[in-house]
Amino acid sequence: MALRDRINRNRNNVDIGLDHGAQEGRQRTVNLDGSYNIRKVTGDRIDFDLYHWLLTTKWKNYWITVFLFYGGVNLFYAVVYYLCDAQGINGVSGVSGISKFMQCFFFSSQTFTTVGYGAMYPVDVFSSWMASLEAFTGLMGFAVLTGTLYGRFSKPKPLMKFGRNLIIAPVGELTGLQFIFANQRTSNIMDLEATVNYSWVDNSNNDGLRRFKQLNLELSKIAMFPLSWTINHIIDDQSPLYGMTEQDMKDQEIEIFITLRGYDETYAQTIYIRMSYTWRDLIYGAKFQKPFYVGTDGKMVMDLRKVGSYDLVDLPQRTIPIEIPAAPYEVEGEMLDL
């Protein structure tokens, strides 16, 4: 019976592939950059994927790794050549130790990159073996780095700016759950579609499970996306947020999951963007400012600095209509009820 009740409760909910557990102190599920806030433990002795890290890490980390790899390999082989007194390398003419080491380092870099100017070359068996091993290391290393560099450039990576806050805004006589975002790149995104899922901790049955439900949007798809887009969910009697106060949203630890899908003309591919807001990002009673305006030359100006800026406003008071029976009145000596 308990299993059947649980199945019936979940029929109207949506499972977006996340855990239903509502552990205390749980942080947001999706980071601001769209990555999942999840740490995976594999149990392997070395829990690190170098190739995937090179494809996904920041550009600063990528180039630091490339230069450290290039300098480290050349430094290692330069030390090997120098410890052999550089006798196996023809053309090393330095007198001091520093001069000899620097020439060994330059010979290593020429071998590693397979440049080979001809001024220095190995003449004994050991130096020839080391030079051939270094050349092989250079070929394989540059092949991997070239592949990762191409992969980073060829992978579609949209740059979307979301407002920092989720707001409850007035929409006519009702209210709406809203957030705003804009495309930071000059690329054109067509047929942009939004899916918004609402998550909350359900304490009605004392099980403390996290529920998910897809929200109805005032507009879920647009053909063109040149400016900004404010997603609006009307909080009416069909909304799961109907009748909830700011404290209710805090107590239920709400989290809003956003998935965007569109066609990027620059990459000629379909792109996906993820984002989430928690109850900590909620502003109750606000209205977004327009981040665009018409310039003096007549062109539309999109000010990305204003995306997410808002003004505090009063929300309309929700009134519940009460049916009041009509008062009876007298007609020709009789009491009539309307």
Share of the chain above pLDDT 90, in %: 30
Tokens encoding 106: 């330059």
261 contact partners, CB below 8 Å, separation of at least 6: 192, 193, 195, 270, 271, 272, 273
Tokens encoding 311: 């003004």
Give the CA distances from residue 280 to residues 16, 167, 250, 283, in Å, rounded to whole numbers and listed in that order. 22, 11, 8, 8
CB count within 10 Å of CB 92 equals: 21
289 contact partners, CB below 8 Å, separation of at least 6: 306, 309, 310, 311
pLDDT at 233 over 90: yes
Tokens encoding 166: 């989720």
Pairing between β-strand 166-171 and β-strand 282-284 as defined by DSSP bridges: parallel
pLDDT (0 to 100) of residue 87: 75
pLDDT (0 to 100) of residue 197: 92
Which ranges in the chain are annotated with CATH 1.10.287.70? 50-154
**pTM (predicted TM-score):** 0.68
Q: 50-154: what CATH class?
A: mainly alpha
> How far is Cα 169 from Cα 87, in angstroms, rounded to an integer?
79
Concatenated DSSP letters for 100-116? HHHHHHHHHHHHHTT--
> How far is Cα 197 from Cα 102, in angstroms, rounded to an integer?
61
Mean pLDDT of 283-303: 89
Across 33-37, 117-121, 267-271, 323-327, the highest mean pLDDT is recorded for 267-271
pLDDT at 13 over 80: no
pLDDT, one tens digit per residue, over 115-127 is 878 788 888 888 8
Which ranges in the chain are annotated with CATH 2.60.40.1400? 158-312
Work out the end-to-end distance of the chain between its first and last CA atoms, rounded to an integer number of angstroms. Answer: 49
Which one has a higher pLDDT value, 323 or 148?
148
Rounded to an integer, what is the distance from CA 61 to the centroid of its chain? 18
> How far is Cα 81 from Cα 75, in angstroms, rounded to an integer?
10
Q: Is the dihedral of CA 73, 78, 84, 86 positive or negative?
A: positive
Which one has a higher pLDDT value, 240 or 49?
240
Phi then psi for 109, rounded to 5 degrees? -65, -35
On the CB side of 111, CA atoms within 13 Å amount to 28
Q: 158-312: what CATH class?
A: mainly beta
pLDDT, one tens digit per residue, over 44-67 is 666 778 888 898 888 999 999 999
